C-alpha cells in the first residue's frame, strides 16, 4: 500500500469532519476542553451527573474509562460506514480508526500519524485513561479536525 | 489431529522480520515464555504468537503475527503482577523457552484482577446502551463478542481458574450455548434497565454463523478441561463430555478449530 494516498475529495472530507463531532461530543461531555492539569482543573472531577458505582471511583476521579471512548470511536466509524465513506471488510468486519485513516490518506500523512497517536493516548492502562492522556488526545482530535477543515477549504493540500 | 509444532523455530521466524531492537530485547531476556493458543496446542496457521519476556526494559509490541510483552524483574515479582489475569494465564499455560519459571509459584488470582474485569464489563455496559442505536452492525457484533468473552473470563477468575486461550471460550459458547446461562445472567446483572442483554449477545451471532472446516484438536490440558467444567457448569456432576464444536469464523472470532474436550 502506498504510504501517501491521494486524499479523499472535499465532500468526503467534510463528512469525516462532521462525523468526528461524535468523538468530540464525548470529550465535551467529559468536560473538555480544559486548561490546566488534573490538579488545577476541577471541571471534570465531580462527575456528579454520572451514575458511577462506588467501586469505580477507587483510583480517583481524574481518570476516564477507556471503554467509553472506544464506543465513541466506533460510533464515529459507524457514521462513516452509514454514509458509505468506509466499506466493511469480509465477514461484517468493522474497521479500526487507524486503518480507516491509513487507507484514506496513506500511512505517512500527518492526519494518519495524528490518529495513530490519538489512539495510543486513549488506549488506556487496565481500562483507565489518565487526565493528561485525555487532554493530549482531545488536543490531537481538534488538530485533526482543523487539518480536515483546511483541506475542505483547499488551504492545506 | 494435533500437529507437533517447533515453537523455538516459530519464534525465530516471527521475530526475524522485526526491528533489531526487538530482536535484541528477546535475545537478552532472562526468560522467554510462549503463551496463548500456541502454548495450549490450539493454534492455527493464522494465530499470532504470544511471547512474554523478562528483560531490562518493559515494553509491548503487537503485529498481526507477534504479540510481545517484556516486563522487568521487579515487575514480575510484584504482588500486582502475580495476582493478574495475564500472569495466571502465563503461569498456567506458558512454555518456558529460556530461564526458569521462578515466579510461577507465587501466582494466585488476585482481587484486583477480578475487580478490573468487573469494572471493565460495567464500564461497557454503562455506556453501550447509550450508543447502541448509533453503532453499525459490525461494531454491535464486536461488543457482543467482547462482552460475552469478558464475562466468561470473569466467571473463571471468580472461580479461581486461570483464563484459557480465547479459542476455548468461543468454542464452548458456540457448541454449548444452552449451558452458558451464567454468562447472560451475569451480564444482565450489570445491565442498565431497559437494555436487553439478549440483543447484545444476538448481535454477535451473525458473525459466528459462517462455517469452514476446522482443525480437530484433542484437548487434554487439565487446566483447559477445568475451565470448560466451570463454564459449562459441570463442577458438581463430574460428567464426561465429548465436545466437538461447529467450526466458527468471522469477525473477532477465533480461527476455526474443532475442540474435542473430555471433561473427567
- Chain A interface residues facing chain B, Cβ-Cβ under 8 Å? 22, 51, 53, 55-56, 58, 65-68, 71-72, 74-75, 77-79, 81-82, 88-89, 91-94, 126-127
Cα torsion B104, B105, B109, B112: sign: negative
Residue A61 CB partners (closer than 8 Å, separation 6+)? A44, A45, A46, A47
Question: A91 to chain B: which residues are within 8 Å by CB?
Answer: 207, 210, 249-251
Q: Is the pLDDT of residue B232 over 70?
A: yes
Closest CA to A120 of A142, A96, A104, A86: A96
Question: Per mean pLDDT, which range of A56-65, B3-12, B15-24 is the poorest?
Answer: A56-65
Q: Which residue of A has its CA nearest to B210?
A: A91
Mean per-residue pLDDT for B163-190?
Answer: 83
Query: Residue B119 has what pLDDT?
Result: 92
CA B56 – CA B245 distance, rounded (Å): 43
Q: What is the pLDDT of residue B209?
A: 43
pTM of the entire structure?
0.82
Give the Cα separation of B243 and B263 in Å (integer). Answer: 9
Closest by alpha carbon to A71, among B104, B125, B21? B125
Q: With CA atoms as reference, report the closest residue to B31 among B137, B104, B116, B132.
A: B104
- Choose the weakest-confidence range: A46-55, B103-112, B128-137, B183-192: A46-55
Do residues B210 and B256 make contact, with C-beta atoms less than 8 angstroms apart? no
Q: For cell 447484545, name the residue.
A: B200
Confidence of residue A25 (pLDDT cuts 50, 70, 90): very high
Q: What is the pLDDT of residues B235-257, one digit of tens each?
A: 544 444 444 444 443 334 455 45
Judge whether residue B205 has pLDDT over 70: no
pLDDT at B217: 64
Cβ–Cβ < 8 Å for B143, B203: yes
Q: What pLDDT is attached to residue A52?
A: 31
Considering CB atoms only, which of A53, A78, A91 is closest to B135?
A: A78
Alpha carbon separation from A157 to A6, A105, A141, B23, B158 (Å, rounded): 10, 12, 19, 39, 55
Contact A111, A144 (CB under 8 A): yes
Closest residue in chain A to residue B130, using alpha carbons only: A71
Report the candidate in B58, B41, B51 with the shortest Cα–Cα distance to residue B98.
B51
Is the Cβ–Cβ distance between A131 and A62 less than 8 Å?
A: yes
What's the mean pLDDT when you consider all of chain A?
80
Give the best-scoring range by mean pLDDT among A70-74, B46-50, B62-66, B170-174.
A70-74
pLDDT band, very low/low/confident/very high, at B173 (cuts 50, 70, 90): confident
Q: Do B123 and A56 touch (CB under 8 A)?
A: yes
What are B110's three cell numbers?
Answer: 488476585
Nearest to A71 among B128, B136, B251 (CB): B128
Place of cell 531492537: B21
pLDDT of residue B108: 95
Interface touch B206/A92, C-beta < 8 Å = yes
pLDDT digit string (tens) for B12-57?
999 999 999 999 999 999 999 999 989 988 887 778 899 999 999 9
The average confidence (pLDDT) of chain B is: 83
> Edge-to-edge, what's the strand order for the sheet holding B95-98?
B59-62, B66-72, B49-55, B31-35, B95-98
Cβ contacts of A127 on chain B, cutoff 8 Å: 116, 119-120, 123
Strands B31-35 and B49-55, by their bridges, are: antiparallel
Residue B101 — very low, low, confident or very high, per pLDDT cuts 50/70/90? Answer: very high
**Model confidence over A96-109: pLDDT tens digits?**
899 999 999 999 99
Task: Please calculate the CA angle B19-B51-B183 and round it to the nearest 5 degrees.
Answer: 130
For the cut 80, the answer to whether the pLDDT of residue A59 exceeds it is: no
User: Do residues A92 and B250 touch, judged by C-beta distance below 8 A?
Assistant: yes
Query: Which pLDDT belongs to residue A70?
Result: 95
What pLDDT score does B251 carry? 38
Instruction: Assess whether pLDDT exceeds 80 at residue B231.
Output: yes
C-alpha distance from residue A28 to each of A36, A122, B154 (Å): 15, 15, 32
Q: Where are the beta strands (DSSP E) in B31-174?
A: 31-35, 49-55, 59-62, 66-72, 95-98
- The whole-number average pLDDT for the span A103-132 is 90
Q: Are B178 and B255 in contact (CB under 8 A)?
A: no
- Whole-number percent of chain A with pLDDT over 70: 75
Q: Of A63, A96, A127, A27, nearest to B121 (Cα)?
A: A127
**A142-145 own/partner pairs: CB under 8 Å, 24+ apart:** A142/A24, A142/A33, A143/A114, A144/A20, A144/A111, A144/A114, A144/A115, A144/A118, A145/A17, A145/A20, A145/A24
Contacts of A22 in chain B (CB under 8 A): 134
> Quick check: B87 and B113 in contact, CB under 8 A?
no
Burial of B181 (0-12, 13-18, 19+ CB in 10 A): exposed
Pick from A89, A91, A127: CB nearest B119: A127
Of A22, A72, A92, the CB nearest to B137: A92
Q: Which of B87, B58, B85, B81 is nearest to B71 (CA)?
A: B58
Say what the pLDDT of residue B177 is. 74
pLDDT of res. B247: 40
Amino acid at each position: 500500500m502506498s504510504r501517501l494516498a491521494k486524499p479523499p475529495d472535499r465532500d468526503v472530507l467534510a463528512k469525516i469532519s462532521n462525523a468526528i463531532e461524535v468523538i468530540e461530543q464525548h470529550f465535551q461531555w467529559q468536560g473538555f476542553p480544559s486548561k490546566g492539569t488534573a490538579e488545577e482543573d476541577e471541571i471534570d472531577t465531580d462527575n456528579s451527573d454520572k451514575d458511577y458505582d462506588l467501586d469505580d471511583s477507587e483510583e480517583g476521579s481524574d481518570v476516564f474509562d477507556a471503554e467509553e471512548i472506544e464506543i465513541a470511536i466506533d460510533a464515529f466509524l459507524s457514521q462513516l460506514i452509514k454514509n458509505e465513506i468506509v466499506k466493511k471488510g469480509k465477514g461484517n468486519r468493522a474497521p479500526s480508526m487507524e486503518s480507516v485513516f491509513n487507507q484514506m490518506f496513506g500511512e505517512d500523512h500527518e492526519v494518519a500519524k495524528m490518529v495513530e497517536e490519538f489512539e495510543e493516548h486513549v488506549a488506556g492502562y487496565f481500562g483507565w485513561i489518565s487526565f493528561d492522556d485525555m487532554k493530549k488526545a482531545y488536543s490531537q482530535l481538534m488538530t485533526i479536525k482543523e487539518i480536515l477543515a483546511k483541506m475542505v477549504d483547499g488551504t492545506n493540500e | 489431529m494435533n500437529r507437533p509444532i517447533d515453537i523455538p523455530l516459530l519464534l525465530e521466524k516471527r521475530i526475524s522480520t522485526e526491528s533489531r531492537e526487538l530482536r535484541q530485547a528477546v535475545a537478552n531476556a532472562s526468560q522467554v515464555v510462549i503463551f496463548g493458543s500456541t502454548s495450549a496446542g490450539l493454534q492455527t496457521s493464522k494465530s499470532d504468537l504470544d511471547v512474554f519476556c523478562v528483560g531490562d526494559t518493559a515494553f509491548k509490541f503487537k503485529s498481526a503475527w507477534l504479540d510481545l510483552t517484556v516486563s522487568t524483574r521487579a515487575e514480575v515479582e510484584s504482588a500486582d503482577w502475580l495476582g493478574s489475569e495475564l500472569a495466571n494465564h502465563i503461569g498456567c499455560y506458558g512454555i518456558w523457552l529460556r530461564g526458569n519459571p521462578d515466579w510461577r509459584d507465587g501466582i494466585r488470582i488476585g482481587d484486583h484482577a477480578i475487580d478490573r474485569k468487573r469494572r471493565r464489563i460495567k464500564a461497557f455496559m454503562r455506556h453501550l446502551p447509550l450508543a447502541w442505536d448509533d453503532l453499525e452492525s459490525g461494531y454491535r457484533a464486536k461488543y457482543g463478542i467482547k462482552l460475552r468473552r469478558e464475562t466468561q473470563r470473569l466467571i473463571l477468575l471468580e472461580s479461581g481458574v486461570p483464563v484459557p486461550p480465547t479459542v476455548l471460550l468461543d468454542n464452548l459458547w458456540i457448541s454449548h450455548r444452552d449451558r452458558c446461562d451464567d454468562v447472560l445472567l451475569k451480564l444482565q446483572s450489570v445491565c442498565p434497565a431497559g437494555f436487553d442483554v439478549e440483543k447484545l449477545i444476538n448481535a454477535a451471532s451473525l458473525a459466528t454463523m459462517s462455517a469452514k472446516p476446522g482443525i480437530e484438536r484433542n484437548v487434554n490440558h487439565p487446566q483447559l478441561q477445568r475451565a470448560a467444567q466451570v463454564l459449562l457448569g459441570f463442577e458438581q456432576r463430574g460428567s464426561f463430555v465429548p465436545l466437538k464444536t461447529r467450526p466458527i469464523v468471522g469477525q473477532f472470532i477465533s480461527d476455526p478449530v474443532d475442540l474435542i474436550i473430555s471433561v473427567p
